[in-house]
A = this chain, B = another copy of it.
């Protein structure tokens, strides 16, 4: 029975880059030859069965990959991936949420960078919408958040957005009441009065 089979499989699985035999041997305090034997065994097992993943040996070590015939499905997955926020998108959305109705120039003024691309993405994702045109020279478009924005963040309406003050109140307490500190050393006296 090969030793540490499970551990070796798990190690290769969680490793972001191909995992070298000697690294595994070091961690599990095994002989390199034994590690390689287990890996070859695993490799055959994955190869033989009708699996979607295979264990591959590349120049730098061992790595799990998906089988080539699954690539089409994976491409579909990439395409249908839910929208994930970049920091820029989050920043822009935050400004629009709090400052609406707002023009793009105003957002860019606050962010200090061109935000055209981000606006486009947010519009495409329907998180923001054009509210109209501002009555100033140039008649720039003004933007606000959409119904989808509320849904995305699970808010009933915009008033559910915490004010900055509420947020600061929460933040300021971190300074003296960290997670690792026990409560006995914190000096806050506030006790909730709300019965349930």
Within 8 A of B (CB), among A81-113: 84, 86, 88-89, 99, 103-110, 112-113
Which of A80, A84, A108, A186: most chain B Cβ within 10 A? A186
- The CA-CA distance from A73 to B24 in the complex, in Å, is 9
A52-B7, A114-B186 known; A27+B141 contact, CB < 8 A: no
Q: With an 8 A cutoff between CB atoms, is A180 at the interface?
A: yes
Report whether B180 and A86 are in contact in the complex, using a CB–CB cutoff of 8 Å.
Answer: yes
Q: CB within 8 A of A196: which of B109, B171, B173, B180?
A: B109
Using known A-B contacts A13-B66, A53-B9, A182-B186, determine if residue A192 contacts B27 with beta carbons closer than 8 Å: no
Q: Which of B28, B76, B84, B118 contacts A27 (CB 8 A)?
A: B76
Query: Which of B50, B89, B116, B171 is the one whose CB lies under 8 Å from A188?
Result: B116
Please give, as numbers and ranges, the residues of chain B lying within 8 Å of A60 by CB-CB distance.
none
Is there a chain B Cβ closer than 8 Å to A32's Cβ?
Answer: no
| Contact present for B177 and A116 (CB under 8 Å) | yes
* Chain B proximity mask over A1-17: 1 for CB below 8 Å, otherwise 0: 00011111111011100
Contact residues in B for A193 (Cβ distance below 8 Å): 105, 109
- Chain B minimum-CB-distance residue to A53: B13
Q: Which of B14, B109, B121, B132 contacts A77 (CB 8 A)?
A: B14
Residues of B within 8 A of A84 (CB): 180
Asked whether B154 lies within 8 Å of A131 as measured between CB atoms, the reply is yes
Contacts of A59 in B (CB 8 A): none
